[in-house]
Structure formats: C-alpha cells, structure tokens
C-alpha cells in the first residue's frame, strides 16, 4: 500500500457488548476507574450514516473510557441492522474495531484498503467536524479497522 496506516495514529479500541451496564461495572472495577456516562443514541434515518452502502437507521448505548493516548469504547447495539449488530450476532461480545486517525489521507487509505486489500466499507458516519469509516477487515485481520481523519 502506498498510503499505509501509521500505528502512531492509533486512538481507539471498540468493544461490542451484550449488556453495557454489566460490562461497565466490570471494566470500572477491574481498572479502578470512575464509571463513564452511557450515551444513548436513538435510531434515526440519516444520510450521514450508512451501513453496507445503504442509509442506516440504528441506535446504540455507548460509553468511552479514557486510556493513555487512546480510548476504549463500549457499544451495545440495538436490534436494527448495523456493523455492531452484525458483529455481535456473528461473534458475541468482543473487539469490533481498532481506530486510527490518519488526517487528510483518509480517502486515499480507505480507497486502497478497498481496492488492494478487498476490505469493503461497512459503515460511514459523519458528525460535526469529522467522520468515521469502518472497513470490513475482520476475516483477514481478526478485527475491523476504523479510519478517521481526526478526532
């Protein structure tokens, strides 16, 4: 690949869970940290969110734990089709993706991952000031990759 992902851009581990309340209790106790807030996103159909090439409509419960230079994100998806529901149904709880910040090389990296590695885009999400793109690399790498231009 011409546009390689720099590991110094590693910013996130996302873990999909069946029950975020139980998972947060365990993580908080094990790491002796304050229990982070759970954010709830209700399903909403928006062109700013796609799943497997279609406009998506799903919700989730999410909590973020700050680590040294990266975050651990826990996600409990609702039952609607999403990359998170797909993973949970297929594998149960586990690491859904590793996130990397790549700056203005985002489009070039995603394009090469699709064209040269065969990693299809699973999900694209846009939010004020940035975006996220999960490429389907779990069969080849054991985990999906999230490419972000910036936090």
Largest CA distance in the chain: 43
State the residue range of the domain holding 76. Answer: 7-148
Q: Sheet of 130-135: strands edge to edge?
A: 39-41, 60-66, 71-77, 10-16, 94-101, 144-148, 130-135, 121-127, 49-51, 54-55
Residue 66 is assigned to a structural domain of this protein: yes
Can you name the residues that pair with 14 across neighbouring β-strands?
73, 97
CA atoms within 13 A on the CB side of 48: 8
The model's pLDDT over 105-139, given as tens digits with 9 standing for 90+, comes to 999 999 999 999 999 999 999 888 889 999 999 99
CATH of the domain at 63: 3.10.180.10
Query: Could you report the per-residue pLDDT of 35-54, keeping only the tens digit for each?
Result: 999 999 999 888 899 999 99
pTM summary value: 0.93
**Is residue 140 in a domain?**
yes
């Amino acid at each position: 690949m011409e546009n390689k992902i720099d590991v110094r851009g590693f910013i996130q581990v996302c873990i999909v869970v069946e029950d975020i309340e139980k998972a947060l209790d365990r993580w908080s106790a094990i790491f002796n940290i304050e229990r982070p807030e759970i954010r709830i996103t209700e399903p909403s159909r928006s062109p700013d969110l796609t799943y497997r090439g279609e406009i998506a409509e799903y919700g989730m419960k999410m909590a973020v734990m700050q680590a040294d230079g990266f975050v651990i994100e826990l996600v409990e998806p609702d039952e609607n089709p999403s990359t998170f529901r797909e993973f949970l149904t297929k594998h149960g709880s586990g690491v859904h993706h590793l996130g990397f910040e790549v700056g203005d090389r985002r489009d070039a990296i995603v394009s090469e991952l699709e064209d040269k590695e065969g990693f299809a885009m699973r999900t694209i999400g846009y939010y004020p000031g940035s975006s996220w793109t999960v490429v389907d690399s779990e069969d080849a790498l054991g985990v999906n990759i999230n490419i972000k231009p910036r936090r």
